[in-house]
Chains A and B, each alone.
Chain A
């Protein structure tokens, strides 16, 4: 399932010491929850671009929603991926 794959990508990219299955798909990724910041987001976006073949852009008004949770990020990847 893509959600698990994205959870693993997040953990590998950011070198987090948590188990992929322990990430609540609905919990916030930024500030609270996993506590990611904008530098993590950049690094994550670079990994996503490499693995799924599309680039996250700053002018997407939905960015706040896309990055709201693991679940929303996975859905976005699903709809944009080229690989």
Chain B
């Protein structure tokens, strides 16, 4: 599997993100939703890379042979959540029926005045987290992300809701994590996605869908160093206007042991991967990592 191929499929989904964002801003949600069908169909028919990326994943979760209708449904779910993201980021949570489960787990962790980590993924929609801001204006969330991605997304966010742009902490500078440490001391939540590993990231190998897979070690390392609780976040699109948020407590905080460090990190990351696999099996079409996630060379995009 060449790196070129991986980049191609990922670029395809970026193109889709931009196109749908523009259309939604221009025409609104109802018209945007109608247009999702022809756009998705066109994309699936004309991009072999996109089909391959989807099929390569779906064959692991869907028991039947994978056909065009499965692939169409996969990209349609992706496209629908991108469309909804535009609304979520501009503060229009009122559009959606959001069923929130386990919210008190998160609120309890914040009681002591110290912040916690909210560990998400590319399953479903992380932007659903914005609905928390509407119901709990006192809770502050910062998102840690790669600078290149942050810049791409920032342009979109800047036009939708400039306030949110301040919530992004770019990773990759020597002092990136000082910001995280300071935010936690102020009782803020640090949002981070734990399922994509970049080449030069510290990584661990865990079992995921019956295969050994690389996951970033960063999230659990940061949690261990700062001794903060980790709450898992899964925001699943159920179709139409319906979303479900699951908050789950992973750990109330742990002490990193010098000698056992990598065993500890692997163990905690494995527990995260187990929950991610569980929710992925429950909602297989919400998986939005459109590249060869199980590629052994580790050439995964950021």
**Complex Cα distance A41/B200, Å?**
15
CB distance from A45 to the nearest CB of B (A): 6
Q: How many residues of A contact B (CB 8 A)?
A: 19
Provided the pairs A42-B181, A43-B225 are in contact, do residues A64 and B173 lie with their beta carbons within 8 angstroms? yes
- Max chain B Cβ within 10 angstroms of own Cβ: one of A43, A58, A67: A58
User: Does the CB pair B182–A58 fall under 8 Å?
Assistant: yes
Q: Mark A39-55, 1 if CB is under 8 A from B, else 0.
A: 10111011000000000
Q: B177: CB under 8 A from chain A?
A: yes
**Complex Cα distance A30/B172, Å?**
10
- The residues of B that contact A41 with a CB separation of less than 8 Å are 174-178
Provided the pairs A39-B202, A64-B174 are in contact, do residues A58 and B179 lie with their beta carbons within 8 angstroms? yes
User: Does the CB pair B177–A39 fall under 8 Å?
Assistant: yes
User: Does the CB pair A38–B173 fall under 8 Å?
Assistant: yes
Q: A17: CB under 8 A from chain B?
A: no
**Complex Cα distance A63/B172, Å?**
13
User: Does the CB pair A57–B202 fall under 8 Å?
Assistant: no
**Complex Cα distance A53/B201, Å?**
30
Chain A residue, CB-CB nearest to B261: A15
Partner of A38, one of B176, B182, B226, B258: B176
- The residues of B that contact A42 with a CB separation of less than 8 Å are 177-178, 180-181, 222, 225-226
Q: How many A-B residue pairs have CB under 8 A?
A: 57
- The residues of B that contact A30 with a CB separation of less than 8 Å are 174
Q: How many residues of B contact A (CB 8 A)?
A: 21
CB distance from A65 to the nearest CB of B (A): 10
Q: A6: CB under 8 A from chain B?
A: no
- The residues of A that contact B174 with a CB separation of less than 8 Å are 29-30, 36, 38, 41, 63-64, 67
- The residues of B that contact A24 with a CB separation of less than 8 Å are none
User: Does the CB pair B175–A58 fall under 8 Å?
Assistant: yes
**Complex Cα distance A5/B48, Å?**
57
Provided the pairs A37-B202, A39-B202, A42-B181 are in contact, do residues A56 and B175 lie with their beta carbons within 8 angstroms? yes
**Complex Cα distance A36/B172, Å?**
10
Chain A residue, CB-CB nearest to B182: A58
**Complex Cα distance A41/B218, Å?**
13
**Complex Cα distance A64/B171, Å?**
14
Q: Mark B257-274, 1 if CB is under 8 A from A, else 0.
A: 010000000000000000
- Max chain A Cβ within 10 angstroms of own Cβ: one of B172, B179, B181, B202: B181
CB distance from B265 to the nearest CB of A (A): 11
Among residues 153 to 181 in chain B, which have CB atoms less than 8 Å away from a CB atom of chain A?
A: 171-181
**Complex Cα distance A58/B184, Å?**
13
**Complex Cα distance A57/B179, Å?**
8
Partner of A57, one of B172, B178, B221: B178
**Complex Cα distance A15/B258, Å?**
9
- The residues of B that contact A29 with a CB separation of less than 8 Å are 174
Among residues 55 to 74 in chain A, which have CB atoms less than 8 Å away from a CB atom of chain B?
A: 56-58, 60, 63-64, 67
Chain A residue, CB-CB nearest to B202: A39
**Complex Cα distance A37/B180, Å?**
15
A positions within 8 Å CB-CB of B:
15, 29-30, 36-39, 41-43, 45-46, 56-58, 60, 63-64, 67
Sampled A-B contacts (10; CB under 8 Å): A30-B174, A37-B172, A38-B172, A41-B178, A42-B181, A42-B222, A45-B181, A56-B175, A57-B182, A58-B182
**11 more CB-based (< 8 A) A-B contacts, given A38-B177, A41-B176, A42-B180:** A38-B171, A39-B202, A39-B221, A39-B222, A41-B177, A42-B181, A42-B225, A42-B226, A45-B181, A46-B225, A58-B178
The 8 closest A-B pairs by CB, nearest first: A58-B178, A42-B177, A67-B174, A58-B179, A63-B175, A41-B174, A38-B176, A38-B177
